[in-house]
Chain A
């Protein structure tokens, strides 16, 4: 199969997956969920009030139409209005995206760079004490609840020592910086464990390949082999791993944002959960699913373009 046919086929696969995602969301939120009219009005509502509200929310429409509405929204991004704030959801998402990105983007860039550097180092000293120690610390670090990191970090470094802002946010370029430093540091600490483990495995996969033995046998130095040969080949997997995380950056950091009162999409989602604001939860679910699907196809395509060894099927 040639590359273009593959890309076309892969792209077309988006359609059944999006339809499936919408169906799943529809089943979860529209069919099985407890009646939202009941949640919003409480148990003392009259039947008439309930019926009016259900009509207003579009819940009296036939299931098939409700399903089509979700499918339509996943292409037009017109998600309607929030039940609790009455704002247009698309506007809310646009407002929340920037604060979210000010935390997630620096966190993501820093943690990826640091992790790659550490993994190269430990792959270089594979099997030695430093390699074992780093791997152990990664596993140990991953065994602590992320909530504990956030709670302790906020309490100790912001509240006790007063090095950082405890919580809050200000819009605009230099003003937000003091508020994001601690969340970004915590993000980096949370990500390093899994990232280093993953990158180390990828790099070690390459270290034992034949071409490395060839390079060594023709007398190349270990440094040259590590950076010129191994890193280049490992880059394919590293880039795919990095790209597939991008859609989640836009979604923000659920826990970090809520702890540090950063008005991003993560905090918005959390508020929606607490107030049973279905349209917002549904919108965020659709949005993240669509972003994930697009990025996973992007990585697939990239993989086939960059690495000619990948077989197409």
Chain B
């Protein structure tokens, strides 16, 4: 009896490689933990009492208050957890918005070519010509301040690089034999593009997703500093912004807590993104 050796799929191979990479595995674990904390905080199970006064204003970190207290005597730890909710949701929604716009525009431009392609290329050239900080400002002006404005502003300003990559890949793929085969059995454009070509360029989306996610977390901090960020609830951005006035009084714990919380998750996303790129894009191995 002969045994059939089935070749591993790209995804299986990539998964195995990712799991064998200890740094990447740890990063994945960190991202999962942060996501759990965010979900628990959103459902009120964790840090639901962040707004309560726990003790004296600006109490330093101690056994009782692990990360100290802020100006109103609120627990910095609880605020950091609440901030995790904001950061993770900003990262997720921004990455989703930019993925949808980037995939659709990039795929359509690459596949149909001609006038459609020219229009899309003109559109994103125009878009990238305006510094994203200015676009962010304009969009938050229009939307008013708040979480939704942050989502939209960051999502609408971060799709261009993905769109470019997808467009390029679709152009490379659209004349491959498997696409012609799909034409031969009567597949329409929509089916060919989304059912056949897109799965072959999906790895780019995933790599880009982790990159956009962490960039969005970092941008939220800047928006908060500009006074255009999340209002009325703690975020790492507003905590770091508060530190502006606190440092001179020797209050460093709010800056430290928010910076540390952000550092760990952004670093995890960076390492994860690199590992994903190495395992999903064989051409780039070792670079």
Contact = CB atoms under 8 A, between A and B. Distances in A.
A and B associate in one complex:
yes
Interface of A: 16-17, 20-21, 23-25, 28-29, 32-34, 127, 139-140, 142-148, 151-152, 155, 159, 201, 204-205, 248, 251, 254-255, 270, 273-274, 276, 281, 284-285, 288-289, 292-293, 296
Contact of B222 (A127, A147, A205, A289): A147
Given A151-B247, A281-B134, A292 B240 contact: no
B29 interface: no
Interface size on B, as a range, is 35 or more
Given A16-B122, A24-B126, A151-B255, A285 B131 contact: yes
A295 B221 CA distance: 29
Interface in B139-162: 139, 141-142
Contact of B221 (A20, A34, A147, A254): A147
A143 B225 contact: no
Contact of B126 (A20, A28, A33, A147): A20
A145 B267 contact: no
B178 interface: no
Contact of B138 (A28, A248, A270): A28
22 contacts: A17-B122, A17-B125, A20-B129, A25-B130, A139-B267, A139-B270, A139-B271, A140-B267, A144-B266, A147-B225, A148-B240, A148-B255, A148-B259, A151-B244, A151-B255, A159-B247, A251-B131, A273-B226, A281-B134, A285-B130, A289-B130, A292-B129
Contacts, number: 112
Contacts of B263: 140, 143-144
Contacts of B125: 17, 20
A155 B255 CA distance: 12
A281 B142 CA distance: 14
Interface of B: 122-123, 125-131, 133-135, 137-139, 141-142, 214, 218, 221-222, 225-228, 236, 240-241, 243-244, 247-248, 255, 259, 262-263, 266-267, 270-271, 274, 286-287
A48 B281 CA distance: 64
A273 B137 contact: yes
Given A148-B240, A289-B129, 11 more contacts: A17-B126, A21-B130, A24-B127, A143-B270, A144-B266, A145-B221, A147-B241, A148-B255, A151-B243, A155-B248, A205-B287
